[in-house]
Every structure is written in structure tokens, then in C-alpha cells.
Structure 1
Amino acid sequence: MPLGYLTPFASLAPLAPLVLPGVYAPQQDTALLADALCDEPLAPAAHVLDVGTGSGALALAAARRGTRVTAVDVSWPAVCTARLNARLARRPVRVLRGNLFDPVAGQSFDLILANPPYVPTPATETARRGRTRAWNAGGDGRLVLDRICRDAPQRLRPGGVLLMVHSALSGPAGTLEQLRAAGLKAAVARRRRIAYGPVLRAREGWLRERGMLASDDDREELVVIRAERPS
């Protein structure tokens, strides 16, 4: 999930009207991934997996397309939030608690959505408890991204697609390289530059010292990676 933008993104509020304390609310990266989802052709019988569902906004966006949706999150407050939002929306989303793909072992999907933690994080802030687990992702921001790149390809059906959003600070080239090495056709499907959020601003000096931000950078680029398994 995102760089700590702590104000819900207005255009997605109807998709997840309820956000319990400690749960990450829809933000600009959620909106960008939802835009990519809208462009994706999906059969009514398609099975969609939303990994790290948070409030359930993306799971509900997929469910509104008439697809069968499973959502997973490691956080109990997030699981409860997603279940309540699915009930409020009267959509049959199956919400499971667990770490990434563990709750769906042995299953495969036509589409996987992922908005994982991706914020480069100093060693002094590596404790991943409460809300911060939604964005803290190790020194290079790839703590969870690399696990998804490793495990998602085997969860895709032939012709299945992974849509994953993260910051350009977290190395899109590394994501593309790993997914292509796994046999997927991968490319950047969407980009969007946005103002720094509170977490990124708080880490700006550290990121510049590490060479992850140039001295004249004043905006962050988000990317959506689309990776398709050959039919």
C-alpha cells in the first residue's frame, strides 16, 4: 500500500464507505489501480483475488463487475472492514485473513490485484505494527513486492493477469524483470505523478541521502504493473 497518504481518496469513498481505526483508507494509488481494473476485460465467471485488501475498495470494484472475488489481508481490522463494506454494498466478496497467498493455497485466479506495502523504510522504523504495516516495506521498499513477484505467477490461470501498483522509488524495473523471468508478459500499464504524502515527506532527507530522490524531485511517480500469463 501507499506512502502514507492519510486522507481517503474521495473518488473511491463510495466503494469503501466504512474504514475502521487502523485500516488503510483508499488513496491515490488505489484510484490508479482501480482505473487499470476498469480497462481490464473480465468474464462474468472470472475469479478475482485482491491481496492486501485493506478496506476492500478494490475487491468491491471487481465485484461490481459481476465477478467472483476473494480478498485477503493479514490484519483483522482490515478483514472486518472489508467484510462490513461487502455487506453494506450487498456484494458476495469472500474475505479471508492471512499472509498474502497463504489462505488461497492451491487455488488459481483470472485476475490478481495487489496494492502492497512499498515505502522504503529506515531500519529505525522497521517495526511493522498497526497501520504502518500498510506502507513500511524495508530499506528498498521491496520486502513484500518481491514475494508477490515470486508467488503470484503460479496463482494465475492461463491468460490470467496480475495488476500491481507501487512507487517508482521501489524499483519497477526489478518488478518487471522478476515477472518476465517467471514467464509472464509484463509492462507498465499506467503512471501518475502525485504530491508527496506525509510519510514520504517525513523520510525525504533519508531518501535523498541514499540517492533514491534527486535534489530537485518534488513529486512521486506511481506505476501500475500489468503482467499476463500466456494462454
Structure 2
Amino acid sequence: MITPLPDPEPRLIALPGVYRPQADTRLLAGALAREPLWPGARVVEIGTGTGVLALRAAARGAQVTAVDVAWPAVLAARLNGWRRRLRLRVLHGDFAARTRGSRFDLVLANPPYVPGPDAVLPTGGARRAWEAGPAGRAVIDRICTAAPALLRPGGVLLMVHSGLCGAHETVALLARQGLSAHVTERIRVPWGPVLRSRRAWLREAGLAGDGDEQEELVVVRARYA
């Protein structure tokens, strides 16, 4: 979890427990802005939260599906789409189940990625937005292995996550699925309250050093040939 930055979309509705746009959202938004997107392109956002990235894609004329496991996020994204007069198809549930049989030109993902000592992930509450198991890869790995079934030929996956999870592991796993992948964006941000609260565990797990106070965030871009 990272320290909240000023909301880049201050008029967005964010219901209690919904992940608000932060530094990782901004980083992924920048990658989206540089990605070619044409009217009618099919886009899916995994873990939409407030719907901010889905809305940006819809504003460029894309046909956008947004998925989230949390009902408050689904509601918030629908309300934000209605307020912006942008058409979003917002679905509740697991991304793999809700997208089965559909293929997209662009997949956007800001999955839970904070490593933690508990291998059992929460099934409710705000923690679902960041808790990702001891390696931080519980959802990242699922997205990587699902990518070939999600993407049309030539389609692109843009995914943001912490460097604590291993960007090289993401790139290698995507390559094993037949995608051409590389890191396109990197920034460093101060640790937020969640990482600070588990400093001792992160050191014991070999994920952080004694003096670490910053987290690297990366965007991985993968293209399906």
C-alpha cells in the first residue's frame, strides 16, 4: 500500500472501502495515455476501483468492460460513468469468470500486489485491494497466465505493480505464455502505512533492507502476437 497522492480525478465518487487513485494509478494512466487506442477498441480493466482508468479509455471511444470483486467498487464505477456520461459495462466478480470467452485489444490491471505474511487472502473489506500473499503475486500470476485467453492477436496488457513482487518474474512469466513483455515505466514513492507496519516482516522475508523507505512501482507492457 502506498501513500495517497492528491486525487487526479477529484470529482470521482469513491465509496468507503474503494481504492482511490494513487501513485500507481497515475503511473498506469500515463502508460494508457501513450497507448494507441481507436474508437471501438475493446478494453477491459481488471480491478477497476473508482473506474478512473476505464473512464479514460471510454472517453477515447473504446468499448470498455470493467471488473471488480468488490460491490462498492462496482457501484462507484457505475456512478462515475453515469456522472461523466460515459458508457461502461461494469461487472462484479472474479475477472477470469466474468471475461470467459471474450477477447480484448487492451487489458488494464492494477491488481493487489502488497506482500504480506498471510497466505489466506481477505474475502471482504478494503484490504482486498492490496493484500496479495507472501510474494505479492497471488493475482499478478493469475493475470499473466490468463493473458493469452484475454487478448486478441496484437492485443496489449498494461499492468502496474510493486517492484517488491519482482518485475523480472512478471516479464518472464508473460514470455512463457507467448507474449513479448518489458517494463515501460518506473517510479519510486515513499512507503505507505501498510508497508511501514510490516517493516520487520519484509526484512525477514528478504524483501526489504534495514534502511528502505521507498517502493519502486513498475508498469509492464506485454503484447500478444
TM-score for the superposition, normalised by structure 2: 0.96
Are 1:136 and 2:116 counterparts? no
What is aligned with 2:214?
Answer: 219
5+ residue gaps in structure 1?
none
Cα RMSD, aligned residues only: 1.4
Contact 1:25 1:55 in 2 (8 A): yes
What is aligned with 1:161?
Answer: 156
What is aligned with 1:173?
Answer: 168
What is aligned with 1:13?
Answer: 10
Contact 1:13 1:26 in 2 (8 A): no
What is aligned with 1:30?
Answer: 25
What is aligned with 1:203?
Answer: 198
* 1-structure distance, mates of 2:25, 2:9: 8
* 2-structure distance, mates of 1:158, 1:125: 35
Contact 2:2 2:23 in 1 (8 A): no
Aligned with 1:187 (options 178, 182, 187): 182
Matches within 5 A, 1:46-65: 46-65=41-60
Are 1:81 and 2:76 counterparts? yes
Structure 2 letter corresponding to 1:104:
T
What is aligned with 1:114?
Answer: 109
Pair 1:124–1:186, CA change in 2 (3 A): closer
Structure 2 letter corresponding to 1:119:
V
Percent identical residues: 53
Pair 1:159–1:126, CA change in 2 (3 A): closer
* 1-structure distance, mates of 2:99, 2:220: 22
Pair 1:90–1:144, CA change in 2 (3 A): same
Secondary structure at the aligned position of 2:8 is classed as helix
Offset, 1:128: 4.1
5+ residue gaps in structure 2?
none
Offset, 1:58: 0.8
Are 1:72 and 2:67 counterparts? yes
Aligned pairs, number: 225
